[in-house]
Structure 1
Amino acid sequence: MLDRTEREAVEEAMHSIIGRMEGFLYRCRNDRDYSMIFMAGDVARLTGHPAQAFTGAEHRSYSAQTHPEDLERVYAAVDAALAAQGNWNVDYRILRPDGSDVWVREIGGGVFRGDELLYLEGVVVDSDLSRRAELRNVEMLEAISEKSRLLLKSTVPIVNVLRTLRILAINARLEAGRAGPMGASFGFVANEVSRLAEETATLAEAIATITGQLNRLVESG
Structure 2
Amino acid sequence: MSDKNDRAVGKAAATTPAGHSQPGEIDRFLGAAKRLAPFASGQAGRLVFALDATMSRQPSWDLACSLQGRMFEVAGQSGGLAVQLVYFRGLGECRASGWIGEPERLKGLMSRIACEGGQTQIARVLRHVRDEAKAVPLRAFVFVGDAMEEDVDALAALAGELGLRGIRGFVFQEGFDPAASAAFATIARLTGGAHARFDVGAPASLLELLRGAAAYAAGGREAMLRLAGASPAVKGLIAAMDGERK
TM-score by length of 2: 0.23
Counting helix residues as a fraction of each chain, which structure ranks higher?
A: 1
**Max Rg structure:** 1
Q: Using CA pairs below 8 Å that are at least 6 residues apart, which structure has the higher relative contact order?
A: 2
